[in-house]
A and B are shown apart, each in its own frame.
Chain A
Amino acid sequence: METINFVLSGLGGQGILFMTKIFATTAMNKGYNILGAETHGMAQRGGSVVSHLRIGDARSSLIRAGAADFLLSMDESEAYRYLPYLKKGGKLFANAPSTSFPHEKTADFLKTNNIEAWAMEAGKTAMELGGPRSTNLALVAFFAAFGFGPLSADDLRNTVDVMSPGPFKETNLKIFDTCYETGKSMI
């Protein structure tokens, strides 16, 4: 199988490691090999946090610039910062207002590189539904609605179900379903 490359970005504290684990656990349950790279230590204190995840039989954990299939960002600025990692024809998903995203300055870049971009206010939705710390899984659900990549929305939802601690399970699934529907409505 060809390796599928995810770059996940955001700010410290948004739970990027949990987001990585949702994808990784789903992929592992499907029998895929996975390899990822994380940010720790002093670098983690910086606010800009990135995680690389490769589904398939890659040997090296880092995705090189211009080679990511998908970029999911929990912050608008962090989406633009990691744009160079997307390959030609890559897909971008961001936690940002869909009306103003992507920034007009990126139009030429996205067009030249044939990159499609979608956004929803995943953080706001999560907060409204009572899960201010669940921007991560909200964005996963939004991405899942488009049906890209080897992992299905049902499988991703099931992972969220299993991984969410008891008191948060119901809220998290509600957030997942709501953001999934938002994504569906944009197709």
Chain B
Amino acid sequence: MKEEFLLGNGAMALGILEAGCQVMTSYPGTPSSEILPEVVRFSKAFELNTSIEWSINEKVAFDNAFAAAISGKRACCCMKMVGLNVAADSFMSSAYIGNIGGLVIISCDDPGPHSSQTEQDSRLMARLGKVPVLDPSSPEEAREMIKFGFELSEEFQVPVLVRPAIRVCHARQNVKYDTLEKNLTKADFIKEPTRWASTPKFRFIQHKALNKKHIKISEKFNTLTPYNMHNLEKGKFYPLGIVTGGVPSSVVKDMFEEYDRNDIPLLKLGAPYPFPEKLASEFMDACEKVLVIEETDTVIEYMLRDKNKTLGRLSGHVPMEGELIPEKIEGVLNKAMSDCSLSPLSDSDCGAKAFEFAGSMELPIRKPTLCPGCPHRASFFSIRKAFPKAIFPSDIGCYTLGSNLGGVDTVLDMGAGITMASGFWNAYIQDDVKKPIIATMGDSTFFHSGITGLINAVYNNSRFVLVILDNYITAMTGMQPAITQGDRVDGSKGNAIALETIVKGCGIDYLKVIDPFDTKNMVKVIKDAGKHALDPEGGIAVIIARHACVIGFKDQAIPEQIEVTVTDDCNDCGFCHTRFECPALVRNAETEMTEIDPVLCVKCGVCLDICPTGAIVKA
């Protein structure tokens, strides 16, 4: 027996392999990114020969896992919750068609949001796709639920969604584990066209069958201790009960224990859909009111149906947005208990005064920013210098932070840098206005969902400049390998694919590859590309700004260390702070001049070309 201080994502990786999962696919995204590498680590340690891949995007990952599952193998596909949007087309059909080997989809939610563009609740996606959902409250429970998920998936031949929130994924816990055994099931796809390739007529039949399965699963969920359970005493009637699930259920249990309160019953719904009607009715019948504490949306709250009895988001007791952090839950409980004439847990102001005090300290605002030496900073500086008044569509990755430098105007979703560039062009050209548009996109995002948009833009004759920021890596989500390098998640070599061949294959004639560290050259190239894009005989211009990520490949990114200093010529104009925003360029309030922070500076030397008064020089 081994014990490790494991990330929740590591505990889930254990659960996946303990269940005998043979095929595992994913696309990285916080807070899910560490699951797949942990599966690799455990699979290697126990020589399980698991098939594991970073797929190009979540839809591709899903389809890969689905094919394995209908070949009789246990398969798992994981992603962040907005990734499930990308896989939604497949996901929505998957429950109708069903599977043979267990298929578990893990969609990690980000209430807060801490590192995402929405606070969407994956349980709602599960409802939409009619996929049963499990909602773990801790890393250990997530591990157990995944194993149960595989069994459920095989018993009912339906995929199962596990929805861990960020506090499960990025919690760490001491976790014990034993030797893992290899699953020797062989792939055996049995043709059945009316099922695997069903036409609408058969889809109707499949839908009917799925609804029948849901009734059976709901019955199972009524008695699914310990995931679904209440602690009512027989014959007792309560003024208030709490209905909860997932991460908030852990917080509520901890708090009731800490304040030594046994007078308020709890209904925990770790398996909320298909809804365990009978269990919920028992609980509702024994309580005058129930308070629903769930993350992030109103899933259980709507399914409880009796509005007159139910307190929660719809009654204004629970905040409609944001993570349900423990102090918020304490406030929610105190208010609801007081409203039901019960003594509250505490007279705590839930940190309100203390946070107000900390706010009054005027502490430095620390917003997310690109790393010192990041090649994206150099690119955005040059883009803005070349075309100060262009529209800058972009999207999701480290380069989203180009917004700090005024180089990112829009962030909708993965791939929107290109599709919105063509959209902007079309909107303006209708008015006979040739608007300069410079789109940016990282290499990984370009593969994920940029290519189709680029083909569409070429086909429909939109005009813009696209700068592909190629840093050899998927950086924001934690340095996953890039397709351009060909490295696979397990360290083996796949087949590298050059961006140039794809770009040309999309029908692009104008393609330049440059090093963004040379900002003077990059400004020149962007200006030329801009001319080409607006020329009636021209077309879309693509620039690949290629330079290794400074975190992922330090030596390669800074081949020659250049020590810099700021001379007395600094006139405190602030240009370097607003347009370049390197954390190593620090304003000294006393001298009213900019200085170099020697600990943060990585000696990339890019800033030598940016100061309007030439005050940044070689040391």
Contacts and interface: CB of A to CB of B under 8 A. Distances in A.
B30 interface: yes
Contact of A83 (B30, B172, B329, B357): B357
Contacts, number: 149
A62 B251 contact: yes
A157 B604 CA distance: 37
B330 interface: yes
A64 B167 contact: no
Contacts of B173: 33-36, 61
Interface in A31-59: 33-43, 45-48, 58-59
Contacts of B325: 62, 64
A84 interface: yes
Given A37-B167, A62-B325, A64-B351, A43 B115 contact: yes
A101 B477 CA distance: 37
Interface stretch (B358-366, B491-499, B607-615): B358-366
A86 to B, nearest CB: 8
Interface string B460-493: 0000000000000000111000000000000000
Given A33-B174, A34-B174, A60 B357 contact: no
A73 to B, nearest CB: 12
A46 B368 contact: yes
A113 B357 CA distance: 12
B184 interface: no
B351 A84 contact: yes
A20 B355 CA distance: 24
Given A48-B366, A60-B167, A84 B358 contact: yes
A80 B115 contact: no
B327 interface: yes
B357 A62 contact: no
Interface in B293-327: 325-327
A33 B401 CA distance: 38
Interface residues of A, number: 44
B254 A59 contact: yes
B358 A80 contact: yes
B271 to A, nearest CB: 18
Contacts of B90: none
B38 to A, nearest CB: 13
A40 B350 contact: no
Interface in B370-385: 370-371
B5 interface: yes
Given A40-B170, A62-B167, A65-B327, A45 B401 contact: yes
Contact of A40 (B137, B398, B478, B583): B478
Given A24-B5, A81-B358, A84-B351, A64 B369 contact: no
A170 to B, nearest CB: 23
25 contacts: A36-B171, A37-B172, A38-B7, A38-B171, A40-B34, A40-B115, A41-B33, A41-B114, A41-B476, A42-B476, A43-B114, A45-B398, A46-B368, A48-B366, A61-B167, A61-B172, A61-B173, A65-B355, A67-B326, A77-B363, A81-B363, A85-B351, A103-B361, A105-B361, A106-B361
Given A37-B170, A45-B398, A59-B251, 13 more contacts: A24-B5, A24-B174, A34-B173, A35-B173, A43-B114, A47-B583, A59-B250, A59-B253, A61-B138, A65-B355, A67-B326, A83-B357, A83-B358
Interface of A: 11, 20-21, 24-25, 28, 33-43, 45-48, 58-67, 77, 80-85, 103, 105-106, 109, 113, 132
